[in-house]
Structure 1
Amino acid sequence: MSELIELANYISRGITPKYTESADGFGVINQRCIRNGVIDFSLVRNTDLTKKKVSEDKMLKKFDILINSTGDGTLGRVSQYFGEDNKYTVDSHVTIVRPNSSLINPVFLGFNLFSKQRFIEKLAEGSTGQLELPRISVGNIEVNDVDKELQDLSAILLFNIQNKITLLRQQNQDLEELAQTLFRRWFVEFEFPCLPSDYRPHGR
């Protein structure tokens, strides 16, 4: 077992953004974006770089692990960033954990922390509504850093499973949106589909 601080190059909260509606801003991932182990980029907001600079170390790198670090009901959620370097940052309610890939497989570490979400939630300090996850508590999380070969194999298998889950979840969402659209068009707007003149219901 090793403590997370020994396996990470960087552990820190994100920025306090100056939000803008401009598409030219820099993307900021917030707590709402992190759910079910994935990042919902549709909820990302932009910060104005002319008012608030983003330091290099707070720009996300591929395989960075993100942990929600404030709030009752959101604290403890974990996801991992698999995008390009320096395209996004996170706000001050999210902790960035940057794995040291020379010491541990980054994907293995991401799933390891994801499996500890309930435990991480219990590390919170403060009162209801003002819960905080201290940086030192994140660094003290113990990780079972098994044999490197087993880490690599586990990472591949778990990553493939996660991709399939994400795909199925997206398909379910698409079907739900289609059902809602059809219901609205048929029973609210009364736009029934045109049927052939010789159409007869089955059995008639």
Structure 2
Amino acid sequence: MVRLEHGELLSSGYQGVVYKVPAGPEYPDADWLIVKEAMGSPIIRAFRRWMIRREYRVYQRLEGIAGVPRCVGLSDDRLLLEFIDGQPLRLSANELPDRDRFFDALLETLQGIHRAGVAHSDMKRKDNVLVTPAGMPCLIDFGSAVLRPDGAGFLRSWTFRQACQIDLNAWVKHKYLARYEELTAADAVYYNPTLVERVARPVRRFWRKVTARKFRKARRRASNR
């Protein structure tokens, strides 16, 4: 059993807490593991445990796909993953040693998980894409993944296809740093904003303007005191 008391807390969010822990003799192929554990009140903890078990099933579908951490197992509703040494793309987007190679590999990973019936659906968060010391991508945190259900009806199949497209749109956004006017013909085939994204974009812009205006007013009030 993994001993969390000796672990390093990496993050805490709506899905639970994430630790980096020594692998121990039970896992001779790894020095460190990532452990995701449910926390909170009994009701919240029960929901998070369900999410962790669901994420474990996602990783079972993704076994062997390059650019995805290896899932070590599920222990007492704690998800155990191999530790990937890397920096979030958020911190490395402008410093990739070989940008084309990195994004070609990331596209292959996306296409691989889509063929396996999984859409990440939260790839626009650059923290979910790691850059390894070798300059290669690793896609992490499948807690919000959308699965392609077997024998599903039109609506659920449509939802999965939309989630796959959102992944590809995020790939384009990261590769071109949101400078869509520079999109090449070869990559343009991957970019097709979904209805959800088209609706959310003006709402997000409006919200940014409102919050920026409130910030400026608060700053002026503070400076006048």
Q: Which has the higher contact order (CA 8 A, sep 6+)?
A: 1
For the criterion TM > 0.5, the same-fold answer is: no
TM-score (norm 1): 0.30
Give the structure with the higher percent helix: 2
